[in-house]
Amino acid sequence: MLTPHVRPAWRRRGERPRRSFPARAGTVAAAVLALLLSFPGTAAAAPGDLDPTFSGDGKVLTGFADDDHAGDVAVQPDGKIVSVGASADHSVLESRFALTRHNPDGTPDTGFDGDGRVTTPINNMGPSLQWSEANAVTLQPDGKIVVVGMSWREYENCCWFVVARYNADGTLDDTFSGDGRVFADIGGPTEALDVAIDANGRIVAAGYSGGFVAVARFDAQGTPDASFGGDGVVTVDPTPNTQEAGGDARSLALQPDGKIVVGGEVGSTSFDFLLMRLNADGTVDNGFGTAGIVRTDFGAYDGVRSLAIQPDGRIVAGGSSDDRVALARYTTNGTLDTSFDGDGRVLAPGAFAYDMALQPDGRIVTAGGTNGDFAVLRHNPDGSRDIGFGTGGVATADFGGSDSTRALALQSGGAIVAAGAGGPGTDFALARFEGGGTVPPPTGVNLAVTKSGPATTAIGDRPTYTVRVTNNSTTTSATGVTLSDTFSGVAASVVSATTTSGTCTTTATGANCSLGTLAPGAAATVTVAAEPRATGTLTDRATVGATQTDPNTGDNTATATTTVNNSRGCTRIGTSGNDSITGTFGNDVICALGGDDTVNAGSGNDTVHGGHGNDRVDGGNGNDTLVAGPGTDNLIGDFGTDNLNTVDQVSGNDTANGGPHTDTCTTDAGDIRVSCP
Tell me the domain boundaries of the chain: 1-108+356-440, 447-565, 568-677
Task: Put the strands of the sheet holding 94-102 in their side by side order.
Answer: 67-75, 81-89, 94-102, 117-120
Distance CA 482, CA 614 (A): 33
Q: What is the DSSP letter of 508?
A: T
Q: Would you place residue 217 in the very low, low, confident or very high pLDDT band (cuts 50, 70, 90)?
A: very high
| Torsion angle of the four alpha carbons 11, 12, 17, 21, in this order, in degrees rounded to the nearest 10 | -80
Given a cut of 80, is residue 498 above it in pLDDT? Answer: yes
In this prediction, residue 245 carries a pLDDT of 64
- Considering the chain, what is the average pLDDT of its residues? 88
Examine the pLDDT at 164 and tell me if it is beyond 80. Answer: yes
Question: What's the Cα-to-Cα distance from 326 to each of 242, 273, 334, 350, rounded to whole Å?
Answer: 25, 9, 17, 11
- Contact between 620 and 583 (Cβ < 8 Å): yes
H or E stretch covering 478: strand 478-489
Of 48-57, 142-151, 265-274, 523-532, give the lowest mean pLDDT range.
Answer: 265-274
**176-178-180-185 Cα dihedral, nearest 10 degrees:** -90
Confidence of residue 242 (pLDDT cuts 50, 70, 90): low
Between 43 and 207, whose confidence is greater?
207
- CA 95, 101, 107, 111 dihedral sign is negative
The total of other beta-carbon atoms located within 10 Å of residue 512's CB is 15
Tell me if 225 sits within 8 A of 202, measured CB to CB: yes
Average pLDDT of the residues in 460-471: 95
CA distance 475 to 494: 36
pLDDT value at 226 more than 70: yes
Least confident of 35-49, 131-145, 463-477, 581-595: 35-49
The predicted structure's pLDDT at residue 193: 96
Task: Say what the pTM is.
Answer: 0.64
CA 664 to chain centre: 55
Q: Is pLDDT at 218 greater than 90 in this prediction?
A: yes
Query: What integer pLDDT is reported at residue 243 of this predicted model?
Result: 60
612, pLDDT greater than 70 = yes
- Cα 412 to its chain centre, rounded Å, is 25
CB 513 within 8 A of CB 497: yes
Residue 351 has pLDDT above 90, yes or no: no
Write down the pLDDT at residue 154: 63
Q: What is the pLDDT of residue 565?
A: 97
Contact indicator for 620, 598 with CB cutoff of 8 Å: no
- What is the pLDDT averaged over residues 437-444? 55
How far apart CA 451 and CA 233 sit, in angstroms, is: 34
Q: With cut-offs at 50, 70 and 90, classify the pLDDT of residue 625.
A: very high
For residue 127, pLDDT over 70 is answered with no
Paired residues of 518 in beta bridges: 478
pLDDT band for 126, please (50, 70, 90 cuts).
low
List the one residue out of 382, 379, 476, 383 whose CA is nearest residue 437.
379
CATH number of 447-565: 2.60.40.10
| Separation between Cα atoms, residue 26 and residue 54, nearest integer Å | 10
The Cα–Cα gap between 377 and 356 comes to 9
Mean pLDDT of 622-636: 93
Lowest mean pLDDT among 233-247, 357-371, 436-450, 585-599: 436-450
Amino acid at 662: T
Taking the C-alpha atoms of residue 422 and residue 62, their distance in angstroms, rounded to an integer, is 9
Shortest CA distance to 69 belongs to which of 21, 122, 121, 130?
A: 21
Mean pLDDT for 610-627 is 94
Q: Tell me the pairing of strands 572-573 and 536-545.
A: unpaired
Query: What pLDDT is attached to residue 125?
Result: 63
Can you say how many angstroms the Cα of residue 566 is from the centroid of all Cα atoms in its chain?
38
Rounded Cα gap, residues 213 and 250, in angstroms: 9
On the question of pLDDT at 36 being above 80, the answer is no
pLDDT of residue 24 exceeding 60, the answer is no
**Is it the case that residue 16 has pLDDT exceeding 50?**
no
What count of residues does the chain have?
Answer: 677
8 A C-beta contact, residue 181 and residue 164: yes
Q: What is the pLDDT of residue 13?
A: 31
CB 493 within 8 A of CB 576: yes
